[in-house]
């Protein structure tokens, strides 16, 4: 435990030392670190996910895509130093806001900012918090207290965010929405079978939480999609038009719409989606995990 904490503090110190470097220098260092992460981190999980989602892609292309993904992850990891230690001016310069007109009319109204897990989603969440000052987000406390401390530091640096625990259920989230807060919401991970249905993600049945349409209905909220993109200059957070006629009341159709939107955005920049997550770990009864070593 002591060695782990010392290692965590060492990593934080490295981020602090590097955060003042120009973006191109951070990017180059991060890409190099990412290639090491692919080899010694969750490279195999990423390979499995890409094989499931892009079965017609040649294996060599999938491997190249996986490496580019880890280069983006490595760069983003180093740029967390800018989020944690950089000035407001540096952070705002790092993240470009596109589609700002789609935010008009939604300030101080119940809105769910639907943000799929693309590289830079944490940094871009702070940029959104500067635009929608009264935000809320769901935070799961980290087992590593050092990591927990600095992740909270990043989450709390803009606006007046309200952090809610996933363990407290939906009631406080609904309350926050009805108070006119904007919920920054990332529902596209495998959280297990509870409150989830199996719906296709790139043609593969994926345990997908039903919270987006349920919260939109209970909180009388509008869904406003945003997508983070890593660019040569930094990041771009694109705000899409608010969804109309959502939810429909048909939970399967509403969840499928969410996944279909993510699929469209993934095809635009496939290396930037979070493939290192075990998205298909929860399987229908009797179906083995694709991540099990044979």
> pLDDT tens digit string along 171-217?
999 999 999 999 999 999 999 998 999 999 999 999 999 999 999 99
Asked if residue 284 is part of any domain, the answer here is no
Assigned domain for 230 exists: yes
Q: Is residue 186 part of a domain?
A: yes
Is residue 159, in this structure, part of any structural domain at all?
Answer: yes
Q: Is the residue at 292 inside a domain?
A: no
Q: In which domain, by residue range, is 241 found? A: 2-272
pLDDT of residue 160: 78
Q: What is the pLDDT of residues 134-170, one digit of tens each?
A: 899 988 888 888 888 988 888 888 877 888 887 778 8
8 Å CB contact between 126 and 157:
yes
Total domains in the chain come to 1
pLDDT for residue 3: 59
What are the residue ranges in the chain where pLDDT is below 50?
none
- The pLDDT value given to residue 279: 97
Q: What pLDDT was estimated at residue 293?
A: 83
Burial class (CB in 10 A: 0-12, 13-18, 19+), 150: buried
3 state SS of 136: strand
Cβ 178 vs Cβ 110: under 8 Å: yes
For the whole model, what pTM was predicted? 0.93
């Amino acid at each position: 435990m002591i060695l782990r904490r010392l290692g965590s503090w060492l990593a934080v110190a490295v981020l602090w030392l590097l955060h003042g470097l120009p973006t191109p220098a951070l990017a180059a260092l991060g890409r190099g670190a990412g290639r090491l992460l692919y080899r010694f981190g969750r490279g195999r999980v990423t390979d499995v996910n890409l094989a499931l989602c892009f079965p017609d892609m040649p294996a060599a292309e999938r491997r190249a895509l996986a490496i580019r993904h880890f280069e983006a992850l490595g760069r983003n990891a180093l740029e967390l130093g800018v989020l944690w230690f950089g000035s407001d001016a540096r952070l705002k310069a790092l993240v470009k806001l596109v589609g700002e007109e789609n935010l008009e009319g939604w300030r101080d109204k119940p809105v769910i900012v639907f943000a799929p897990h693309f590289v830079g989603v944490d940094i871009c969440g702070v940029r959104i918090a500067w635009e929608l000052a009264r935000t809320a987000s769901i935070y799961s406390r980290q087992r590593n207290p050092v990591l927990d401390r600095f992740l909270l530091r990043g989450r709390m640096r803009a606006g007046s965010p309200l952090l809610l625990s996933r363990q407290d259920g939906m009631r406080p989230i609904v309350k926050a929405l009805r108070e006119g807060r904007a919920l920054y919401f990332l529902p596209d991970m495998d959280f297990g079978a509870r409150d989830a249905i199996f719906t296709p993600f790139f043609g593969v049945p994926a345990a997908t939480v039903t919270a987006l349409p349920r919260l939109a209905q209970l909180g009388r909220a509008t869904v406003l999609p945003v997508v983070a993109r890593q660019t040569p200059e930094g990041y771009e957070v694109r705000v899409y038009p608010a969804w109309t006629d959502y939810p429909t009341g048909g939970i399967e159709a509403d969840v499928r719409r969410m996944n279909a939107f993510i699929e469209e955005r993934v095809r635009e920049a496939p290396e930037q989606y979070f493939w290192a997550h075990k998205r298909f770990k929860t399987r229908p009864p009797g179906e083995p995990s694709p991540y099990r070593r044979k």
